Amino acid sequence: MSEGARPPVEVTWLWRRIFTYLASLVNAGLLAAVIAKVKDPQGLATLGLALVAANVVLATLYLAGATVTDWARIAGAARGGAKTGEGGS
């Protein structure tokens, strides 16, 4: 990349952060609603654990998921257009 050029948007992780934080807040809100409304202990435990697991999946994707630029490199390599030695993020 030349000096002064802006990196692709995904390389900055901005959209990944926005999606992950918003989804985590929605899941936290759903978890609070489950705790407030469900009276059955087994149902509460099942739904609560499912929402916590969803947050774990989101955090894992946030930290270890491929970026859009990585997927573009993978697609380019599958078509035979990628150069060897290119690093990912």
Domain segments of the chain: what residues?
Answer: 24-64
Cα separation, 69 vs 54, whole angstroms: 25
Residue for token digits 């654990």? 49
Angle at 66 between CA 19 and CA 89, to 5 degrees: 105
* pLDDT tens digits along 51-64: 888 888 888 877 77
Residues with Cβ within 8 Å of residue 68, at least 6 apart in sequence: 8, 9, 10
Residues with Cβ within 8 Å of residue 61, at least 6 apart in sequence: 20
Give the chain's mean pLDDT: 77
pTM tops 0.75: no
